[in-house]
């Protein structure tokens, strides 16, 4: 299954314009200058600055956008806000409507899943805007194929790269949960092992950091490589059932 090169590291950019000049601080050419790409989108400090009034870029897809789909565009005109109250509302909404749990009684694992879905919502906004810009600019794309990807857990990594960890920490604390207690509930993706998988993951991370339009392709292992147990001093290999632990 295709995997994007760490979409949480992408920056949203203003649609309908040519790539801005290369930033002097970057030593390797990228597709755009992330620091000047869009109003509040300033890489690390980007998503945390979003409020309900922040408008999304609108691609010029043809005359139909002013016709039957105009209402759709208007409803999707703004990014999700990242103030504490908005984050809490998103988390509680996912508890009931995505996880089918009662909002008056849910476990720490349910809280992790709801919070991670709220983070994914914000990743998708950047992911969709970035790919729309790639399509409009008709950029040359790169594809990286590997049998393994040792990606590691994504929840905290995404929060840090979006600069949203403080807001989510305060939001979850207001709901009665410590964010640090939720991180262990994420399953480590069983997609790789050792140096090859880690190297492949680093390539994807570098591609995203440099704003390169690249995708990674790999194998979606159902049971991972293996899970190691030590029994009577001996290594015992067992299947790694990582997929049943639902998470975005």
Q: Looking at residues 10-17, what average pLDDT do you find?
A: 36
67-89 in b/e form (b: 16+ CB < 10 A) is: eeeeeeeeeeeebbbbebebbbe
pLDDT reading at 66 higher than 80: no
For residue 29, what are the CA distances in angstroms to 99, 141, 207? 42, 15, 11
pLDDT reading at 178 higher than 90: yes
Give the residue among 17, 93, 83, 73 at the shortest CA–CA distance from 53: 83
pLDDT of residue 194: 77
Q: DSSP letters of 17-56?
A: SPPPPPPTT-SS--SS-GGGSBTTB-GGGSGGG--TTPBP
pLDDT of residue 5: 38
C-beta separation of 84 from 171 below 8 A: yes
Query: Reduced to 3 states, what is the DSSP secondary structure of residue 190?
Result: coil
Element (H, E) at 145: strand 142-145
C-beta separation of 208 from 10 below 8 A: yes
Q: Looking at residues 148-153, what average pLDDT do you find?
A: 91
For residue 16, what are the CA distances in angstroms to 72, 90, 135, 164? 20, 31, 11, 28
**183-223: pLDDT as tens digits:** 999 988 888 877 889 999 999 999 988 888 999 999 988 88
């Amino acid at each position: 299954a295709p995997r994007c090169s760490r979409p949480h590291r992408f920056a949203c950019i203003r649609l309908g314009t040519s790539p801005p000049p290369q930033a002097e601080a970057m030593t390797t050419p990228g597709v755009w200058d992330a620091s000047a790409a869009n109003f509040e989108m300033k890489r690390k400090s980007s998503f945390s600055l979003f409020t309900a009034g922040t408008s999304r870029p609108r691609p010029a897809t043809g005359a139909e956008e002013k016709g039957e789909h105009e209402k759709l565009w208007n409803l999707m005109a703004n990014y999700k806000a990242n103030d504490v109250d908005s984050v809490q509302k998103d988390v509680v909404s996912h508890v009931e409507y995505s996880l089918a749990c009662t909002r008056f009684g849910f476990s720490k694992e349910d809280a992790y899943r709801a919070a991670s879905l709220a983070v994914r919502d914000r990743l998708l906004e950047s992911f969709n805007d970035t790919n729309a810009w790639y399509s409009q600019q008709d950029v040359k794309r790169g594809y990286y194929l590997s049998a393994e990807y040792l990606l590691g857990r994504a929840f905290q990594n995404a929060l840090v790269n979006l600069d949203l960890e403080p807001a989510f920490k305060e939001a979850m604390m207001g709901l009665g949960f410590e964010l640090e207690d939720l991180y262990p509930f994420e399953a480590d993706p069983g997609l790789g092992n050792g140096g090859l998988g880690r190297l492949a993951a680093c390539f994807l991370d570098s591609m995203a950091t440099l704003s390169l339009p690249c995708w990674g392709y790999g194998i979606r292992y159902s049971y991972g490589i293996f899970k190691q147990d030590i029994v009577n001093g001996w290594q015992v290999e067992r299947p790694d059932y990582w997929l049943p632990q639902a998470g975005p």
